[in-house]
Structure 1
Amino acid sequence: MPTPRGPRSHRSRFLGKAVELEAGHGVGGIDPHKHSATLAVVDSHGHLVDVVSVPVTPAGIGELLEFLTDTELVIDRIGVEGSAALGQPVAVALSAAGYDVREVQPNRTAERRRRRRRAKTDIEDAEAIARETLADPQLPPAGKHAAPEAAWEELTAVHDWRDSLILQRVRQLTEAEAVLVSLPLSIRSQLPSTSRVLPQLEMLETFAGQWDGLSTVDRVRLDRLQAALDDIRLLTGRIKILDKRIPPLLEQLGCTLTEICGIGPVTAMDLLVEVGDPCRFTTEAQFARWCGSAPIALSSGEGHGPARRHRLDVGGNRNVNSILHIVHVTQVRCHEPARTYVARKIAENKTKREARRAHKRQLANVIIRHMWKDEALRKTSGTAFPAAA
């Protein structure tokens, strides 16, 4: 009977090259679902050792931890697919137990499955996740926070609710625009000549009951537009209420991102939610690569010299990349240091597009430095937040 071995108490750090596991060591891969999770364990040579499926309940997660403890291998790291979504309960429990938990993107296992013409089952997926975890020691840590704080989780909930309300309002405006163009010309000619939908709806409300000779179909359309206007006002009111909850939460988290020109409370909230724990990025270059603001080398014939040409990185976190673009546009319009920086890049024979990308790369450095500073200040000041329930 092999001696039970628990999780390793330390986390390995990999600096640019793969590290082979020692004999007797292995990795795990977890394919999570809404009601179940399947774990596959492979050894250092990639051989499947064992597979287990457990329900996603407190008792099931306890059974999973017991299975890992009783395995004959020392588990160096565990890959979880969707660690910020369906795999979050399992990833949080594994991190709390001391395991090195990594995030495995679904497209990695899907590509392996297509390339090798493998079947798709929970066991096959868990084994593929384990093999990806074994093959790439530099997989990112699972989740945005190893131990999320209550204030950050509340901010995330506000962020998600606000995004949902905005999408609902956009849908109402889009559908209302399609109904507006179907109204009789006698009505449309009296509406404001603007592409904005809301002023037209408000004008229709002003003249409500004054239209004569309308068919029953047109009256139904007018009733629908009035209901849409009421819904839009209700959604807008809820969004404004949520906006008032953002600054106190930012203050609780010690966020100073709003000191940067072009970043308001909503943008700061978006950055905090998307980035999570800034300390999971050890360098500015790593953060820039993650958000897609670092250029990718695209040249040939340079030998051991520097790359002669670079291209845009279309990967990375596109939400953060979009925020960088919005901040760039704002600063170029009203922030003198940014205008000077872009002008200097253009004077260096860079195109406007290249100067914009260079400025976004600099903004990535400024943002992550602010987040590192805020996190260090919060830790040194001893500010503690209640743990999330």
Structure 2
Amino acid sequence: MTSMTRIGGPVTGGVDTHGQTHHAAVIDSVGRQLGDREFPTTPAGYRELTGWLRGHGELERVGVEGTGAYGAALARHLHTQAIRVVEVDRPDRKARRAHGKSDPLDAYAAARAALSGAATGVPKQRDGQVEAIRALRVARRSAVKARTQAMNQLRALLLTGPAGLREQLRHLSPTVLVTTCAALRPGSDLVDPEQAVKTALRRLARRHRQLSEEIADADADLRVLVTAAAPDLLALQGVGIDVAGQLLTTAGDNADRLRCESSFAHLCGVAPIPASSGRTHRHRLNRGGDRAANHALHTVVLCRLRYDPRTRLYVERRTRQGLSKTEIIRCLKRYIAREIYAALPTNPHANDLGLAA
């Protein structure tokens, strides 16, 4: 820990976040280092950190690394204290090679980024319905992956199992296969490979069935929460519970942190990036952003390509203009991102974009 004489006046804080401790630093309005200190990641530690920062002067803002992970709880605490929190990206490798790496250096770098305006992002508040939706989606997603894994293991085990058992079960549909394997009655002699395979198949099938029930319960809970949180979003064609849940999670409880619809498009990775040079004027594909949100928009596009006459007419017109199907889908994602942004809850610009409140 280092500390200097209190100067007073406006100050800016910076925090390098970790699992067990956070390292905080504070600078004045011209970037002079006033001190740094380590605090535990506990409610008492957050209160102590806040008091320490305020003890150096009028605290204007705090730059925090990792507000979506290690710094989430601290960002939530600072928000309750009416302190402006700025989301700070971690320094890139070039900067760390030039200036070194340590917790105090990273904390001061976060403070300087917040003071200079190099970092301006507003973190998600994570204190409302959308945070509840996100938590339920985490459990549901892991259950879906585990169920897929169980089915793959069941089929792989059946593929290498005894020939008679394989011929009996290999042509069954997934639903019938799970039901049949869950009802198998193997013998007690597990030294016999066929009985051991039957036992394993039954366990995998029952695991699959249990996970299906868990997913169904999660879907029911999410349907209630998403419908209450974003009825306007669900009214858009092609937007179901899963897509809406992902897009809400991407935007966060405070969707007003996104200044305009282009900010949301960049967040979803559907805003083309300028790549012009000299007389060449072009844009390139944006491979950044939240890829899960990008996939959700892709799902909406596929639905509209199949069921929406306006979308099919648009595809025909753009095809005559020489665009490929991939390029047309990218354009549609950008247009749909604009519709989604207008329908997000707590969006102060909804009326400006043509959506009734």
TM bucket by the smaller chain? 0.7 to 0.9
2:144 to 139, 146, 166: 166
Larger mean Cα displacement after TM superposition, 80-89 or 39-48: 39-48
RMSD across aligned C-alpha pairs, in angstroms?
2.8
Distance in 1, matches of 2:337 and 2:349, equals 18
Asked if residue 122 in structure 1 is aligned to residue 103 in structure 2, the reply is yes
> Displacement of 1:376 after TM fit?
7.6
Distance in 2, matches of 1:102 and 1:171, equals 40
CA gap 1:372/1:343 in 2 versus in 1, 3 angstroms: farther
1:357 to 325, 330, 344: 330
Distance in 2, matches of 1:153 and 1:345, equals 39
Q: Which residue matches 1:216?
A: 192
**2:169 is paired with a residue of what secondary structure?**
coil
CA gap 1:375/1:297 in 2 versus in 1, 3 angstroms: closer
**1:190 is paired with a residue of what secondary structure?**
helix
Asked if residue 297 in structure 1 is aligned to residue 270 in structure 2, the reply is no
> Displacement of 1:314 after TM fit?
0.4
> Displacement of 1:69 after TM fit?
1.4
Equivalent residues in 2 for 1:220-369 (5 A)?
A: 220-276=196-252, 277-302=254-279, 308-369=281-342
**1:262 is paired with a residue of what secondary structure?**
coil
1:215-250 deviation line (CA, Å, top 9, x unaligned): 723322221121011011111111111211223223
Q: Which residue matches 1:185?
A: 163
TM-score, normalised via structure 2 length: 0.85
CA gap 1:36/1:209 in 2 versus in 1, 3 angstroms: closer
2:332 is aligned with what amino acid? Answer: H
**1:129 is paired with a residue of what secondary structure?**
helix
Distance in 1, matches of 2:347 and 2:276, equals 39
> Displacement of 1:50 after TM fit?
0.7
Distance in 2, matches of 1:110 and 1:71, equals 31
Distance in 2, matches of 1:134 and 1:178, equals 57
Q: Contact conserved, 2:182 with 2:206, CA < 8 A, in 1? A: no
Structure 2 regions of 5+ residues with no counterpart?
Answer: 351-357
Q: Size of the alignment, in residue pairs?
A: 344
1:93 to 77, 82, 85: 77
Larger mean Cα displacement after TM superposition, 234-243 or 354-363: 234-243
**1:282 is paired with a residue of what secondary structure?**
coil
Distance in 2, matches of 1:352 and 1:93, equals 47
**2:231 is paired with a residue of what secondary structure?**
coil
**2:202 is paired with a residue of what secondary structure?**
helix
Structure 1 regions of 5+ residues with no counterpart?
Answer: 6-24, 378-389
Identity within the alignment, %: 29
Larger mean Cα displacement after TM superposition, 38-47 or 51-60: 38-47
**2:23 is paired with a residue of what secondary structure?**
strand
1:344-372 deviation line (CA, Å, top 9, x unaligned): 22122211111110000001001001115
Equivalent residues in 2 for 1:19-98 (5 A)?
A: 25-44=10-29, 46-72=31-57, 74-98=58-82
1:155-201 deviation line (CA, Å, top 9, x unaligned): 2222222122212212222332332222133332333447x755444
TM-score, normalised via structure 1 length: 0.79
Q: Contact conserved, 2:268 with 2:291, CA < 8 A, in 1? A: yes
2:283 is aligned with what amino acid? Answer: H
CA gap 1:335/1:365 in 2 versus in 1, 3 angstroms: same
CA gap 1:124/1:182 in 2 versus in 1, 3 angstroms: farther
> Displacement of 1:152 after TM fit?
3.0
